[in-house]
Amino acid sequence: MSSRATISDVARLAGVHKATASRALNPATSSRVKAATARRVQQAARQLGYTPNAVARSLRTSRSFTVGVLLPDLTNPLFPPIVRGIEEVLSVQGYTALLSNTDNDDDRERAQFQALVDRQVDGFIIATGLRRHPLLEGAFKAGVPVVLVNRGTDKPMFPLVSGDDATGVALAVDHLAELGHRAIAHLAGPPGLTTSLVRTRAFRQASQAHALPAELTPVVASAAYEEKAGARAAEELLDAHPEVTAIVAGNDLIALGALHALRARGLSCPQDVSVIGFNDMRFVDEFQPPLTSVRVPHQELGAEAARLLLEQLQSSPERSHSRRPIPKIVMLPVRLVVRGSTAAPRTRTS
Amino acid sequence: MSSRATISDVARLAGVHKATASRALNPATSSRVKAATARRVQQAARQLGYTPNAVARSLRTSRSFTVGVLLPDLTNPLFPPIVRGIEEVLSVQGYTALLSNTDNDDDRERAQFQALVDRQVDGFIIATGLRRHPLLEGAFKAGVPVVLVNRGTDKPMFPLVSGDDATGVALAVDHLAELGHRAIAHLAGPPGLTTSLVRTRAFRQASQAHALPAELTPVVASAAYEEKAGARAAEELLDAHPEVTAIVAGNDLIALGALHALRARGLSCPQDVSVIGFNDMRFVDEFQPPLTSVRVPHQELGAEAARLLLEQLQSSPERSHSRRPIPKIVMLPVRLVVRGSTAAPRTRTS
DNA sequence: GTGAAAGCGCTAACAT
DNA sequence: ATGTTAGCGCTTTCAC
């Protein structure tokens, strides 16, 4: 790496002091320098292929124009679109996203978080929220700028951007009820996450709204938002409640597990049991049968989270404790995408 | 953000000079400090919750212990496992991966690359290789440490870690030939990528090895390694060569597009046309029909790429031009996973 | 074995 | 409008 040009090199070539060069090169301060000088400096910079050393700048300004992004599991197709939305907004403003996979591991998460803090990221967008989350409580007390995406915390500390989960679940139950289902189960996500809680509550409420008795609308929690865990939860459900004719899954991977569990015991979907997923992630339309699911605008979720964070960063660049905004919750609208995994129950409960 | 403790704070609390504190805290130099002092310093650091400012350290040492990772498209399920493999290896050695999505856009790629260089990343793992790649040629001349993964360049400049594409394609053709197919087409990837070239060559060679005439083994290139482009290429193929009974696709997304194209014109897979994908990415087993595909060990690809890069970084920490290693190609073994998308042709060509 | 001093590259007071 | 100076936090000579 033939050593890079520094601002001193540029200044020397332009025949000015490096402070002047700095001013000329920074759009915010270039007006405070004679136009001719500015041009000369910029010309010199171009000639030398100068780009500022971001590390030195960060050290001096204690701003890095980077944002840490914590993701629970990049292999879940839910997250790549969120990342794309984040990057789309950040890059326009000159920010860079530093992505970090936690693999749902607390220790990894703590380590990654600290590594990013040590690198002086200006703030975080966090998709690994838990209802009780010591790391986030610490971040809150320390005044670290954070925006949560998709998953929140019990105690409202940071702004949250999520899909309108409650409405999504209601749409799912409505759809099934209209098809004539009365024994509808919910395969909930793991209990530690707000998404699970919100969706489960919404399920109970929607069931009541359709006057479905509690004994016909059981809820079984999956150990994780993953296919295997979903399959296990579905087994458990089918053992305990063979009467169900429809399943509202906590997310698409749980739904996929349910499809497998049904197939494994010779039940067919949607003829025997209808299944609805949540998120409408990529490839659910390729499933067998194509999965009816609640579409959440993930890219827009990411974009909105980035916007909120930038707002916060730009209003309090010094990370002052002053005027911490009341953490708002931004919910983006969802809609039900009906595909082949839902149909009228074989035998109407009369 | 209640301002963090610096090494001076630690030194003051421990009653030593900050240089001593630095030595005590750094495992590599802690032996050059009296054991008792070292303990005192470490104790003080713990008490203050001190973690070193990575930015300051980078500026001083011109090493950041970060690695830039350039990805063409995070929403392609091929890449998340590669990322996981990379992070798995890097994190053990105290390195952090800075991921960057280029969306197959040259300008974005250049910008992201420069942003990472400006942040003083120690090297790059690049999955956006092109046969002719000005950016990489520039990086080569500049002596930037780079390892390529999956996709290479025509001119061998950097080490490359990839699956054994040639063998993979041969396995695919062998499988189809054994089933009795003689009119086998290849839906190649876009021509600018080495993967496309290698796989296409391997396809031609395997066809010859089975004594399949050239007119029965057409090759049509897809505009991109994506579903839509794959579907278009398949249309084109089926128009020009209605006689084909099997397709070897350049990757799984192209294969998926082919499945759609077949369905759109009332052909069924595998009864009318068999289809084989490449990569065996997540969810191909859910496709309709489940896709036969060549399994590439992506996580291991990423891990190996990270290992090669670390090797390089540790041998020439100063990024000296000295002793640039001959760029080796590491190929990891692949295997064919047979599923429902391949079967004997309906009518044997006699 | 420890302290003093220098400096990585940059920007923001404070001059002039 | 530009130059001077200082210093972000750290590590690394160089002294002692």
Residue A315: predicted pLDDT: 84
Percent of chain A scored above 70 by pLDDT?
A: 96
Residue A349: predicted pLDDT: 46
Nucleotide C5: closest residue by CA–C1': B19
> Is A163 in a helix, a strand, or coil?
strand
Nucleotides of C under 7 A from a protein CB: 1-5, 7-13
User: Tokens representing B265?
Assistant: 């014109």
Mean pLDDT for the stretch of residues B322-350: 86
Residue A348: predicted pLDDT: 44
Per-residue pLDDT for B348 more than 60? no
CB atoms within 10 A of CB B314: 10
Query: How many H helices and E strands in chain A?
Result: 12, 12
Beta carbons within 8 Å of A15's beta carbon, 6+ residues apart: A40
Nucleotide nearest residue A7, measured CA to C1':
C9
Per-residue pLDDT for B320 more than 60? no
Residue B97: pLDDT band (50, 70, 90) is very high
- Rounded CA separation A171/A261 (Å): 24
Distance CA A59 to C1' D6 in A: 14
Cα–Cα–Cα angle for B237, B238, B239, nearest 5°? 90
- Rounded CA separation A51/A56 (Å): 12
Distance CA A124 to C1' C12 in A: 27
Beta carbons within 8 Å of A95's beta carbon, 6+ residues apart: A65, A66, A67, A122, A310
Residue A347: predicted pLDDT: 66
Nearest CA among A281, A257, A291, A68 for reference residue A163: A281
Q: Using CA of residue B51, residue B54, residue B55, residue B59, what is the dihedral sign?
A: positive
Kindly list the strands in the beta sheet with A160-163, ordered across the sheet, starting from the edge strand earlier in the chain.
A96-101, A66-71, A123-126, A146-149, A160-163, A329-332
Per-residue pLDDT for B230 more than 90? yes
Q: Which residues is B149 bridged to in the sheet?
A: B161
Residue B3: predicted pLDDT: 79
What digits encode the pLDDT tens for the residues A315-328?
865 444 456 778 99
What digits encode the pLDDT tens for the residues A104-132?
999 999 999 999 999 999 999 999 999 99
Mean pLDDT for the stretch of residues B175-189: 98
Beta carbons of B302 and B126 less than 8 angstroms apart: no
* Probe site for chain B from A7, A46, A76, A96 (most B CB atoms < 10 A): A96
Per-residue pLDDT for A1 more than 60? no
What digits encode the pLDDT tens for the residues A14-61?
999 999 999 999 999 999 999 999 999 999 999 999 999 999 999 999
Average pLDDT, chain A: 95
What type of residue is B220?
Answer: V
> Is A350 in a helix, a strand, or coil?
coil
What digits encode the pLDDT tens for the residues B233-262?
999 999 999 999 999 999 999 999 999 999
Beta carbons of B72 and B226 less than 8 angstroms apart: no
Residue count of chain B: 350
- Rounded CA separation B8/B56 (Å): 13
In sequence order, which ranges of A210-338 are alpha helices (DSSP H)? 227-240, 252-264, 298-315
What digits encode the pLDDT tens for the residues A286-304?
999 999 999 999 999 999 9
What are the chain A neighbours of B87 within 8 Å (beta carbons)?
101
Per-residue pLDDT for B224 more than 90? yes
Query: How many H helices and E strands in chain B?
Result: 12, 12
Q: Per-residue b/e over A295-323, b at no fewer than 16 CB within 10 Å?
A: bbbbbbbbbbbbbbbbebbeebeebeeee
- Rounded CA separation A257/A250 (Å): 11
Nucleotide nearest residue A25, measured CA to C1':
C11
Beta carbons within 8 Å of B341's beta carbon, 6+ residues apart: B255, B259, B269, B270, B274, B275, B276, B277, B287, B289, B290, B291, B292
| Main-chain phi, psi angles of B332, to 5 degrees | -100, 145
Nucleotide nearest residue A16, measured CA to C1':
D2
Q: Which of A318-322, B140-144, B265-269 has the lowest mean pLDDT?
A: A318-322
Percent of chain B scored above 90 by pLDDT?
A: 93
Q: CB A286 to CB B282 under 8 A? A: no
Cα–Cα–Cα angle for A122, A125, A130, nearest 5°? 130
